[in-house]
């Protein structure tokens, strides 16, 4: 809950009452300090544990490894993993997943793959999280084909891809401009019985809109209610932006105004997308009116909207400025 002062008070109360701190208490503290980014404090807690005769266990080491990964200090995280092994504690699959995730975020995919291959040598079995993390790392670097190979390997090993895993690859196809593969994969997800959600649809709709396939995107958007799904604010923003980019302002504005009727109030993002669409297509009066409405509802223009608006009004006042 972020109430660190209260946690410290309770800790001091335990000490004052001669209540010994267990490894679980220490690990909670290590984890908290690591997530706050104060690794030195977490290390001090580990030192205190050892002085009290309490040797850190796998869960404590995992918390410390995660702390270093969050700070992108992968070499230190690796040393903690090696120290754990040296102390006689075998890393579990979570230990490896934390490290692999850290390497992926640091874009050190070679090191992530090294650890992936190391897992099998320890007798552990990579789980869904392991594969999903690696696939996401590959997709973020545009290596979608490698992500596909990982999916095949995952299935061959007996692991069943879940919706998160499939959505990662779907997103990779879309961002890589492989729309044909994305559509085929989406259909395969449907055929295999994966329960598609609004996120899966939004990923594909966004990919279709960005590549100019607005009609297919619209059809997919309309399918949502048929399949028992309700568009969220993000899905509306994607579709509105898609219409605006294609110059279909009437359809965009109609969809924007229909949000409230569907119990989905437009947020700051939707207003900005619609206003930018008006500006880009020369609907200055409509954009200004909507901007006034947006501000009246407590929202604010983002940098792009503000820049467009300023660019429009400055030329007409050049003579005044001079």
Write out pLDDT tens, residues 185-223.
Answer: 999 999 988 889 999 999 999 999 999 999 999 999 999
Asked if CATH classification 3.40.190.290 holds for the domain at 1-118, the reply, yes or no, is no
Q: What is the average pLDDT score of the chain?
A: 90
Q: What is the pLDDT of residues 77-88, one digit of tens each?
A: 999 999 999 999
Q: Which residues contact residue 21 at a Cβ distance below 8 angstroms, ignoring those fewer than 6 apart?
A: 11, 14, 15, 52, 54
What distances in angstroms separate CA 52 from CA 21, 208, 292, one per listed residue? Answer: 9, 60, 64
Per residue in 163-200, is it b (16+ CB within 10 Å) or e — as a string? eebbbbbbbbbbbbebbebbbebbeebeeeebebeeeb
Q: Considering only 14-23, 97-106, 230-239, which range has the smallest mean pLDDT?
A: 14-23
Torsion sign, CA atoms 169, 171, 176, 180: positive
Where do the domains of the chain lie?
1-118
Instruction: Tell me the whole-structure pTM to 2 decimals.
Output: 0.85
Torsion sign, CA atoms 237, 243, 247, 248: negative
Whether the predicted pLDDT of 320 surpasses 60: no
């Amino acid at each position: 809950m972020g109430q660190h002062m209260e946690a410290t008070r309770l800790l001091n109360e335990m000490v004052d009452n001669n209540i010994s701190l267990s490894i679980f208490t220490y690990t909670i503290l290590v984890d908290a300090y690591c997530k706050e980014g104060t690794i030195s404090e977490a290390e001090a807690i580990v030192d205190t544990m050892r002085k009290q005769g309490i040797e850190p266990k796998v869960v404590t080491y995992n918390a410390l490894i995660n702390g270093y990964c969050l700070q992108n200090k992968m070499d230190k995280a690796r040393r903690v993993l090696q120290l754990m092994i040296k102390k006689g504690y075998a890393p579990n699959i979570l230990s490896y997943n934390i490290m692999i995730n850290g390497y992926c975020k640091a874009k050190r995919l070679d090191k992530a793959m090294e650890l992936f291959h190391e897992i099998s040598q320890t007798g552990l079995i990579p789980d869904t999280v392991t594969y999903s993390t690696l696939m996401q790392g590959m997709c973020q670097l545009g290596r979608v084909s490698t992500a596909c190979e990982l999916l095949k390997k995952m299935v061959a090993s007996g692991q069943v891809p879940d919706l998160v895993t499939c959505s990662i690859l779907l997103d990779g196809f879309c961002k890589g401009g492989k729309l044909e593969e994305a559509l085929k994969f989406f259909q395969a997800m449907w055929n295999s019985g994966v329960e598609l959600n609004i996120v899966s649809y939004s990923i594909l709709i966004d990919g279709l809109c960005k590549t100019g396939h607005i009609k297919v995107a619209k059809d997919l958007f309309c399918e949502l209610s048929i399949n028992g799904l309700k568009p969220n604010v993000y899905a509306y923003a994607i579709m509105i932006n898609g219409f605006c980019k294609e110059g279909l302002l009437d359809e965009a504005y109609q969809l924007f105004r229909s949000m409230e009727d569907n119990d989905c109030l437009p947020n700051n993002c939707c207003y900005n997308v619609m206003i930018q669409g008006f500006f880009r297509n020369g609907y200055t009066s409509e954009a200004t009116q909507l901007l006034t409405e947006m501000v009246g509802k407590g929202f604010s223009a983002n940098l792009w909207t503000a820049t467009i608006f300023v660019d429009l009004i400055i030329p007409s006042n050049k003579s005044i400025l001079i």
